[in-house]
Amino acid sequence: METPLFPRDSGKFIAERSQDVFVEDEGVQKVAEMLFTLRHSEELTASGWKKANPLAPAPTSDQALNWVFIVDTMNFSFWPDKDTQQCEVTYKGTTYTGYMTLCAAITRALEEGIPITEPKYFSQISVEELGHVLRSDNETPMPMLQERHKVLTEGGRVLLEHGGSFRSFISQAGNDAQKMMELIVKKIPSYRDEATYEGKRVSFYKRAQILVADYWGIMEARGEGDVINMDWLTMFADYRVPQALVYLGALRYSDKLMQTLRNGELLCSGDRREVEIRGCSIWCVERIKDHLCKLVQERVGNTCNINAVIIDFYLWPYAKQHHKEMAHIPIHHTRCIYY
């Protein structure tokens, strides 16, 4: 099989041919202006990682690195079949839904004495044991337990083959973000987030890129943030960020696609429309980043240090915080292990 285009090149390739999703220049400029005014805030830094991940162990511990490996390996498909049937996990008096249920469940397990962050344990964990770790506090279980079990045990075995921890595994790539992502995708099958579009093999690597970004965030929080080539990474093509980009006018869906999503139609992984949503989201954020850097250079005379990862770190919580205002924009739904 041909080698797929990397995510940035995939985004450009898809955006240039897309039939139902379009990057809007005016909206791109508007979002870049918004970020320009926020450029000195902690929201647009990697050091805000702990603030964005309040349920993670302290970044000073290597346990935090194994924690993000587990969480990012199982970071997919939290949306409920019905909005009224959300999986919920309550931890220290706060009830979480969506992705945060996974974070809360893993941290809850650690407090209960379950060695969930140790590869020797999670490489051999049974489906029943994982079901207990990920148990919901209501009638709705976390979706795709079997798939989460498969990818977690697979990932654990890979870590055991490479020194027994995520840190020892990732150290093979030096401090280069691109090499880290390539290593993850090469060694761990569940991270190979690829599709075919217009006869070309493309990639998104959402979970692989977010794993590298989380590693970077932890090292920044520890004062060891010497990861190079972070500019090579793109945004993480998921559900919420495309919704935010449409809301902000930087991305536009065709009327036909909008109606399809409003009707609740599920899009299969690899469906042309699903690939266009994800690919155009990547290219849209690249355009925002480029315009933001141009603004910084022209108005301040400085080099811009805000990359696509930091923009994603801003847009994902932005979408969560403004979910009521965005309710009229449908989120696409694809049940898969990639996001």
What is the sign, positive or negative, of the torsion defined by CA atoms of 231, 202, 179, 237?
positive
Q: Does residue 328 lie in a domain region?
A: no
Q: Does residue 21 lie in a domain region?
A: yes
Measured CA distances, 159 to 15, 74, 80, 188, 331 (Å): 36, 15, 31, 10, 34
Domain count along the chain: 1
Q: How confident is the model over 78-107, as pLDDT tens digits? A: 998 887 789 999 999 999 999 999 999 999
Q: Does residue 85 lie in a domain region?
A: yes
- Structure-block tokens of residue 43: 């929201």
With vertex at residue 73, the alpha carbon angle to CA 14 and CA 163, rounded to the nearest 5 degrees, is 120
Determine the Cα–Cα distance for residues 70 and 119; give it in Å rounded to an integer. 9
**Least trusted range by pLDDT, from 219-223, 237-241, 262-266, 273-277:** 219-223
Q: Does residue 339 lie in a domain region?
A: no
Q: Nearest-CA neighbor of 53 among 32, 38, 70, 36? A: 70
Active site residue 62: no
Q: Does residue 286 lie in a domain region?
A: yes
Contact criterion met (CB below 8 Å) for 320 and 240? yes
Q: Which domain holds residue 301?
A: 7-321
pLDDT of residue 84: 77
pLDDT of residue 83: 75
- Structure-block tokens of residue 97: 């839904």
Q: Does residue 332 lie in a domain region?
A: no
Q: How confident is the model over 226-255, as pLDDT tens digits? A: 899 999 999 999 999 999 999 999 999 999
Task: State if pTM tops 0.85.
Answer: yes
* Active-site residue, from 72, 193, 214, 238: 238
Q: Does residue 337 lie in a domain region?
A: no
Q: Does residue 326 lie in a domain region?
A: no
Q: Report, as an integer, the average pLDDT of 164-171.
A: 96
Measured CA distances, 210 to 51, 216, 226 (Å): 16, 10, 17
